[in-house]
Structure 1
């Protein structure tokens, strides 16, 4: 352990080397490395620390910064200040360690080299999801320059100041009683009120408080419904192609999937066989972005009544509308209580926030509330309260307007780039949402293209993952626009075109499409 002598400043500099963490103040980083050294046992109880002057010089920091860090750590019990002697590691700063276990007299004899037998987990796991197709991204995917995929926040769009304001207000002393108690099975009243009064009426939906359940994102809602409603006998209709995350969540209960075709007007209702439930994304169908026509919405609701099935509506990106008037949600047209409505609060901000909701009959919501309690108790009450403030202060509406404006600009850029660099690829500009569904030539398989495109720094979402029974070759793929800046789109599509030419050359396919 280095002494506090001035000659040991290089040793202290190595021990307390500050990590590079953009956004964290230097004082916070200094406190973190001191605490880590204490918890790791490199600074034992009673160890003297250098004076604030010596440590400031060793680390090339302001003496005020070191003093403030010491004072905070004294207050938190990691350090103690002894008058006229200096600063020392507190006697009880290190956590208690469990005593080494004594030899187990019942342990098997391992002298022959055969250790204890481990459980066979492959045989024990009853519902494995490891081999299910999903929208997986490669390791270190953040390092790819052209990310046409879903999964990160957009620094150009994230309302940093507004969201920080709401988090700080939720942490004020006067607001603590609103979210710090154990909520058991209930939700934060303020958020439920904002959903009822501000969000749902925009979609033509009106619900009572006991008809709304907060979830940890849309995927949690899918899982809850599968646990409560599905078993091996349940017939679940899904769009083909459709939302892979919903299908994977439903598969936990191994229902009988019924694939239903999708065309330019969305789900082909006339093609539906008998089902118990049907999952639809009517606002912007995932992944094709097509909108379910009003005529089909009405016929789907009528058919649900005639054939006694229930509709699960994921109102996917309904607020991202670029042209025309918004189509009413299926739930808004439902007079028989046959629609379970799923909404997301966090998708336009960041997928990491994980906040959504279900609107359904109070009887079903009561069942789901008990099931949710058994799973996660309840979603973060702090996040619920902060987002309620975000809604009440109008930040959600202003953010949605900004997202729509920027997404329109990105859509125009990607459309222009596709026409320039991949003119033989087909797509229909969507009326909303944050993605474009692209279909390449018949010889192209988008999964193979995705592999080659990664070598050019491009990430795309290959179409195969959206199908329950994917064709081969599968020429469709999705370009998400929520994670890539507008300035990168043209270069990204050009790099994708280079990958197409490389794949075509490997296949012996001649291409005359321009690259510049």
Structure 2
């Protein structure tokens, strides 16, 4: 290919952007390779010379030469003496021809709404804006402060997990086994902090706590079995359970967590968050925990304990996990590293009777075999070297200060709002004045670069528009009071009585 045809090909196919983080060399290599695989470069025509292509694209000739050499080594190109570089015909072998496009009118007759057996996208669920970090006052829950992430230690563990012996260990197909070092660290370092002692056969690593909850629901729930959940409670657990059973019992929450009322006895499986109730953050006392365990044994039901936020207790020693009091294997314990290390790692674990874990492991294998073992090993090294313990101490100090700062700011600027007493966690659960429309408040706040979360989403019986949640894990301490002060000024505008008066 020569002359104007070569120029046309390079201008049509290749568009390089020096502002991208990816180097020009890598951009050109990827684009030439993609053009070859997509059949845009004829196999019987030579590619433009390195000099000519470099001139047309405005880049160094060496860049083009290196790209051509890399594609030659990778088998995309072949070099012909005195003729230049050509597409290697072998690279296209085995590629199925592109089928003709179906007629759009015919395709519209496919009734997907009737073919689907469920519609999870229609469920009410938690949504967080992707640009939450751009807000001046991100009172968002479930995200971590990037300034607290132990970058140096994590890089060290990631690097060591890529050593030759480590790669040889984790790169093979483990079928359904987990990294033995990670299992040992969960067993000997994480669980004892919560008073839980378990054997390796009682532990399964999961892709975050969410997968553990899904596995438990799939194994233990079906139509005809009753599921009990706190109200208000964790909306994703409600959504998971509703896929497997329609018999869901809503259990009220007070200042001591879920109330173990007599009707709990009719449940087959009960979900609780005793350390810091989600979303109110209240802690279930030992007496109520023992009462719930006695009921489970007497009335033959199982309990899922979601210990999602166990490490953030600021006024007293942490209360032992419900699982630590369980003498009859009634409790299935679910833990996660998302709230301390990073949500994006998606590393969780579940602890239960060996019979349950055996079936959970087999079910997980059908879903995804096992969580990526390279990630498992990096996390295992992070735990083994004590870096997680150091991170917990730092998080505890920082979150404690933010918790105090937010409590004082709320008392100062929202004295008439009801704020339940709490012993820790990473958020405050706030009940605004009567008539507050949290959706309206959230929109007003967004316009002021304030991000809050509406609380009504966590109620499963009737609307409660006066509640909202304020997280402090992702906002610097210096911004907490200014954000609360600004938010407080918006509350009157978002109440129904105020809006009625303004429109009259």
Aligned match of 1:396 in 385, 388, 413? 388
Q: How far has the Cα of 1:352 moved from its partner?
A: 2.1
Structure 2 length-normalised TM: 0.87
Which residue of structure 1 aligns with residue 438 of structure 2? 446
* Residue 330 (1) aligns with residue 305 (2): no
In the superposition, relative to structure 1, how do residues 139 and 162 fare at CA in structure 2: closer, same or farther (>3 Å)?
A: closer
1:7-406 matches, within 5 Å, as 15-18=14-17, 20-22=19-21, 24=22, 27-45=25-43, 47-48=46-47, 51=50, 55=54, 59=58, 71-79=69-77, 90-93=88-91, 97-99=95-97, 101=99, 115=106, 118-138=109-129, 143-150=134-141, 152-270=143-261, 272-274=263-265, 275-406=267-398
Instruction: Give SS of 1:286's match.
Output: coil
1:160 positional shift: 2.3
Show structure 2 runs of 5+ residues with no match.
none
Q: Is the 8 A contact 1:231 1:254 kept in 2?
A: yes
Q: Report how far residue 205 of structure 1 moved.
A: 0.8
Residues 483 and 73 (structure 1), Cα distance of their counterparts in 2 relative to 1, 3 Å cut? farther
The structure-2 alpha-carbon separation of the partners of 1:13 and 1:266, relative to structure 1 and needing over 3 Å to count, comes to: same
* Correspondence for 1:514: none
Alpha-carbon distance in structure 2 between the residues aligned to 1:83 and 1:506: 85
Q: Which has the higher helix share?
A: 2
What TM-score results when the alignment is normalised by the length of structure 1?
0.85
Cα distance in 1 between the residues matched to 2:78 and 2:137: 51
CA–CA distance in structure 2, aligned partners of residues 491 and 303 of structure 1: 47
Cα RMSD for the two superposed structures: 3.5
Deviation at 1:182, TM superposition (A): 1.4
Question: Tell me, what secondary structure is at the counterpart of 2:114?
Answer: helix
Do the aligned residues in 2 keep the contact of 1:16 with 1:34 (CA within 8 Å)? Answer: no
Distance 1:424 1:119, change over 3 A: same
Partner residue, 1:493:
484
Kept in 2, the 8 Å contact 1:232–1:254? The answer is yes
- Distance in 2, Cα, partners of 1:76 & 1:114: 42
Matched residue of 1:426: which SS?
coil
> Aligned pair count?
500
